[in-house]
Amino acid sequence: MSSDARSGPSPASPSAVAARFTGRSVTGGRPLSGALTEVDLDDGRTVIVKTADAPGAARAEAAGLRWLAAAGTVRIPAVHGHDERSLVTDRVARGPASAEAAVRFGRDLAALHAAGAPAFGAAPPGGPEDAFIGLAPMRNATGNDWPSWYAEHRVLPYLRGAVDAGTVGAAEAADVERVCERLPELAGPAEPPARLHGDLWNGNVLWGADGHVRLIDPAAHGGHRETDLAMLRLFGCPYLDRVLAAYEETAPLAGGSAGRVGVHQLFPLLVHAVLFGRGYAEQALAAARAALRPEK
């Protein structure tokens, strides 16, 4: 938490925030975690109030949710309002994962990516340039060439952070730097900027009671669609094979995509190395070294 966050005014209670942004009276509520609270409204609905530590995080998340929802593809919880510290959204009624929902999710995710973005690194409309992925800062500076943009704005900043923290040694970092140098040949055919969720791990994929997946907690920006898919592979997902097969049927990936998974996983792995330490750094280094090996 920054010094500004510590010295700023205390956020209003989740109940007060929910009432302000929905215009309804509150009848009850339950904390779900340190940041999340369920709040019951007098019209029978329940909303989620998320309280952010970092100024601007709620604004960034609200802009991302609205941008993803505007594509009309994967379902996104409605945003009722936000300020610099708090975000109010619909609650997702949860249900079991199913093969049918996974197929629908794969197709919808392909359509979401196809909705596009103005540039690599483009922030959602109304979203800040200085945003977040989880608890880590993420800068939405734009570029037109994916390999150079990905190296400069998605890999090297977190590599430097991991080196500065002592999580990655300087000699080890050279392997990741070599991947960045070779990205023009490792990246595969050029593709237009896709509309990415940006933090697509299993915890942000909610299986709804109505048989539809909802996506939450995005770090949305314009990027390469294989980055979202690589992150989904990295942390697992129910019926992942069905999700990926349905995606490929809808929007086939360029040849050799399986060999590029590690390149796209460098970004989330290095973010996790900065946030959570050496175990993720070792995974990032292994992915970099695998990407540098010549194909047999």
Which residues are tagged catalytic? Answer: 199
Q: How is residue 274 written in tokens?
A: 């900065």
Collapsing DSSP to helix, strand or coil, 152 comes out as helix
Please name which of 146, 155, 67 lies closest in space to residue 112, comparing C-alpha atoms: 67
Q: Tell me which residue of 194, 49, 61, 71 sits closest to 128, measured CA to CA.
A: 61
Distance CA 105, CA 276 (A): 29
Q: In sequence order, what are the residues at sequence separation of 6 or more whose Cβ sits closer than 8 angstroms to the Cβ of residue 279?
A: none
Distance CA 234, CA 241 (A): 13
Contacts of 188 (CB under 8 A, 6+ apart): 226, 254, 255, 256, 257, 260
- Structure-block tokens of residue 89: 């959204």
Strands (E), 55-124: 79-82, 86-90
> Beta partners for 228?
none
Q: Amino acid identity of 149?
A: W
Q: Which residue has the tokens 């340190």?
A: 34
